[in-house]
Structure 1
């Protein structure tokens, strides 16, 4: 087939979902151009270099590496050519204000010893929870994770399995059914926060994350998540794909009820046989030059959106081998804090933190003798709490530093050599994220599978969606799975 006769696709946005989709399309012989608003690829997986430190914006937890390796295998290549993945153990070190510490690890003996130390009866309970997690992993991830839910009948076919695993229940309530001890209940339910879900309202199907981690491990790309992005870009460009950076799409053109191409802020425009968006779903529909754009944006804007994040990046003098790669510092409250974030729109004075310490695994991400960190706190999105982050951001950063000094690094402030923070306002301005949400639509049952934004628009048959707002949802495995579902629709026509 000549270049002129090839089908042409445009993918808006170069997050993991957009890159994975573009690789699949290009591997199938569809001439694909990615159009990215920012000066670097990656979407939420952006990065900065400050004073010799490399700061990943996130995500930093890589699970199910096989879903990534399959992208290279499409063209008979090996991911190891472009990306060096190394295992992280423990997966997370969990820490509570009362001094309790739990290393969530894949070492079965060590894991069971820790569970028994907190509550001996929960050893058998945990094993039953793991069996449950394996079941929902099989039904929710292996069978449905790369399936497009375009019709209600698709959902009805999945309903018996969802009912069998009580999908209407929350992850926390399922964990509590098997496990008695409160620290353990938190340890085995917090994972939904990594995809924007409240453990007390997120569908129990998301308990599959536990099995996903146990089977596939937790990994880190040497050099940072940005090196995984760079590896995907290298693969895409070797396949002949085109990446256009620093040029936001300002409109999606339509002709005769079909998407016909895009126009960008620079005035550049291109025609295409199909258009896919890895951007925010509300923002994408607002770009659509068609009556459906306005109506769908209005409809979606009324849905429940995930919280946002406040992320404090900092580089320190010295090394901290005692601090693991991933830590969760739970606050004094669990359900109450989540209620502040998801329901009451209150900026909590006692945040829970995810602490990322990449130099524990890869010292090259900081100057010699120094360390790179970020501390992430879930916070309400801008529709729930309209905080003036320009005025309050510095104060909230100090709140986080207080927590870290009190519980982990007593001399932290005296060691800081560089720092900056990223707020919900930045998610909104940099990523066009509706309300500054960090994970798009909240993953409750009534906004999952068929109830989520479809991988293909119902009326404009060559307009497609990929990423956190579509099925199956946020997280690297989720958005890479959505890319497989969307690519299948685009390639099959």
Structure 2
């Protein structure tokens, strides 16, 4: 994710929203061919490929040395650790990028299904394996609460309805016009989008542990299930539709496969290229200036960065009619993330690829994280063991992990130079007691990142793990638009934009560019 500042050589002129926000097929003018994409996360890589497929000459920039954004790779002591996303739930969105050039994803990346999708381990020691066939899931549910079997069937049916509207119809549709929101609102209300995910799940299931398991999905995109609109219950059916996959070699191998396609198709990738300024002339983006002073001209600029950081810190107030300091400061931001990466001198064959280890509190813990913004003694953990699927990610006879703990973002008064090491030690003790016996004696090559890392390395405003929260008043038209309201020919993709965070969300945000970026001029 890049560092950039927005400046203007000429005072910005009033921008007519209907002109800059019109889908490219409706606009009368045609752009030049030069496009610069700032930030090479999944959203930025997808944007670069989609622009290239339409005939743009594309330069893809990133402040890090390799593409991938938060999907970086750490290599320590023979272990390979994925830094970021590890759950692939809509592989067809990746396939589409290769099909744009009549190529096959399978020739670049080996995606394999993971089962179970997740194992939930509750505070009382009970486990619930979720994933695979519907029948397997129903059998697991029956072990907890037989009467919830039928309730789950109805939950799946409801999730499918939400999926059909929220994902199939709307995920790749631009929401920069309020009229789009007005036309969509009746359907969203019929689907009870005014309810939270927790309320929706609770209306179908009685067992408290099952309720926890099936309302966990908003946390995967930065939301509190007790606040997040039930639109995001579509994630449940998204998983059931395509399953959960993992790229052999890790998520970094998926990045490498896309990077290879980018190179083959003539997109110029420039790593270690920090953008200092985005040049604006007559109210329109016209290129970028690197920290070195080099200026790259462009007819279209796409930013795959954190929109709150962009608008709050990098665009002068005189250019911001919509996203003023006050408006950005009033937004609700996702939680922060503490992630401990570690290897072990032994293998744990009974631990599946994805495990969600729940602490003694659920709603109260989330309230402490999202509302009270305090770091508590108890926590819940997402434990990733990729060596369960690909043993080559660790030396022979060893296992590699990361343990992710939701924590308050940097709005909280937490000194992470002190709290980080303390949380690391408590987390190791917790995992040793709950799921990885003997960890204290077998752990090696461990290191961690905190919300301060997200702020400094990825320029995430307030160190949030997923940009802004996916609550109703920050979704669809109320979310950051893919077409900038303040600067013409500036487009936004990534977690903070519509439709939202997560790999499917950011890939769909790039897909929206096909509808809003005008056709390039033909030589």
1:243 aligns with 2:269: yes
Q: Distance in 1 between matches of 2:292 and 2:440?
A: 43
1:230 is paired with a residue whose SS is: helix
Q: Equivalent residue of 2:517, what SS?
A: helix
SS at match of 1:45: coil
Aligned residue among 73, 88, 99 for 2:125 = 99
Matches within 5 A, 1:270-309: 270-285=296-311, 286-288=313-315, 291-293=318-320, 296=323, 298=325, 299-309=327-337
The match for 1:452 is: 479
- Provide Cα deviations, 1:397-450, integer angstroms capped at 9, x if missing partner: 111111101101121021112100000000000001000001011000000000
The reply to whether residue 73 of structure 1 matches residue 99 of structure 2 is yes
Q: Is 2:471 the partner of 1:427?
A: no
Distance 1:41 1:388 in 2: 30
Partner of 1:395: 422
Structure 1 stretch 34-43 or stretch 424-433: which is displaced more?
A: 34-43
- Give the whole-Å Cα distance in 2 for the aligned partners of 1:277 and 1:396: 34
2:495 maps to which residue?
A: 468
1:110-139 alpha-carbon deviations (Å, 9 max, x no partner): 211111111111000000000000000000
Query: Which residue of structure 2 lines up, in the alignment, with residue 16 of structure 1?
Result: 42
Counting only pairs closer than 5 Å after superposition, residues 5-84 of structure 1 correspond to structure 2 as: 7-84=33-110
Give secondary structure in 2 for the equivalent of 1:377: strand
Inter-partner Cα distance in structure 1 for 2:252 and 2:105? 15
Question: Which structure 2 segments of 5+ residues have no match?
Answer: 1-30
Are the equivalent residues in 2 in contact too, given 1:439–1:468 (CA < 8 A)? yes
SS of 2:164's equivalent in the other structure is helix
Aligned equivalent of 1:204: 230
Q: What are the superposed Cα offsets for residues 87-122 of structure 1, whole Å, 9 maximum, x if unpaired?
A: 000000000110110000122222111111111110
Aligned partner (choices 313, 332, 343) of residue 315 of structure 1: 343
Q: Name the residue aligned to 1:408.
A: 435
Instruction: Give 1:236 deviation, angstroms.
Output: 1.2
Q: Which residue of 2 aligns with 1:138?
A: 164
- Give yes or no for the alignment of 1:183 onto 2:215: no
Secondary structure of the structure 1 residue equivalent to 2:125: coil
Compute the displacement of 1:150 (Å): 1.1
Separation (CA, whole Å) in 1 of partners of 2:67 and 2:146: 48
How many Å separate the matches in 1 of 2:109 and 2:380? 32
Q: Is the 8 A contact 1:251 1:288 kept in 2?
A: no
Equivalents in 2 of 1:308, 1:411: separation in Å? 29
Q: Distance in 2 between matches of 1:491 and 1:67?
A: 22
Structure 2 Cα separation of the partners of residues 441 and 120 of structure 1? 38
Q: CA, structure 1 residues 170+492, in 2 after alignment: closer, same or farther (shift >3 Å)?
A: farther
- Contact in 2 for aligned 1:250/1:287 (Cα 8 Å): no
Distance between the aligned counterparts of 1:230 and 1:46, measured in 2?
Answer: 10
Aligned to 2:296, what secondary structure does the other structure show?
strand
Map of 2:17 onto structure 1: none
Task: Give yes or no for contact 1:253–1:289 (8 Å, CA) kept in 2.
Answer: no
Decide whether the 8 Å contact of 1:6 with 1:29 is kept in 2. no
Alpha-carbon distance between aligned partners in 1 of 2:413 and 2:460, rounded to the nearest angstrom: 15
Counterpart-to-counterpart distance in 1, 2:271 and 2:246? 26
Indicate conservation of the 8 Å contact 1:468/1:478, yes or no. yes
Q: d(CA) in 2 for partners of 1:484 and 1:296?
A: 24
Contact 2:32 / 2:299 at 8 angstroms: preserved in 1?
no
Q: Distance in 1 between matches of 2:280 and 2:470?
A: 31
CA distance in 1, matches of 2:329, 2:97: 33
2:392 aligned partner? 364
- State whether structure 2 residue 143 is matched by structure 1 residue 117: yes
Please, which of 398, 407, 414 is the counterpart of residue 379 of structure 1? 407
Higher RCO (C-alpha under 8 Å, 6+ residues apart): 2
CA RMSD of aligned residues (A): 1.4
Task: Check 1:81–1:301 CA distance in 2 against 1; reply closer, same or farther (3 A cut).
Answer: farther
Q: Please give the alpha-carbon distance, in whole angstroms, between the structure 2 residues aligned to 1:143 and 1:468.
A: 19
Could you tell me which residue of structure 1 aligns to residue 358 of structure 2?
A: 330
For 1:121 and 1:397, locate their aligned partners in 2 and report how far apart those are by CA, in whole Å.
40
- Do the aligned partners of 1:6 and 1:31 also contact (CA within 8 Å) in 2? no
Q: Distance in 1 between matches of 2:323 and 2:181?
A: 21
Deviation at 1:327, TM superposition (A): 0.3
After superposition, what is the alpha-carbon deviation per residue over 1:233-291, rounded to whole angstroms, capped at 9, x for unaligned? 11111110011111211111101111011111222220100111101112223334672
Q: Secondary structure at the match of 2:432?
A: helix
Q: Kindly state the Cα deviation for residue 392 of structure 1 after the two structures are TM-superposed.
A: 1.5
Gap runs ≥5 in structure 1: none
Deviation at 1:24, TM superposition (A): 0.5
Q: CA deviation at 1:70?
A: 0.6
**Quick one: structure 1 residues 136 and 441, their matched pair in 2 at CA, closer, same or farther if it must change by over 3 Å?**
same
The total of aligned residue pairs comes to 488
Residues 67 and 477 in structure 1, CA contact (< 8 A), matched pair in contact too:
yes
SS in 2 for 1:309: strand
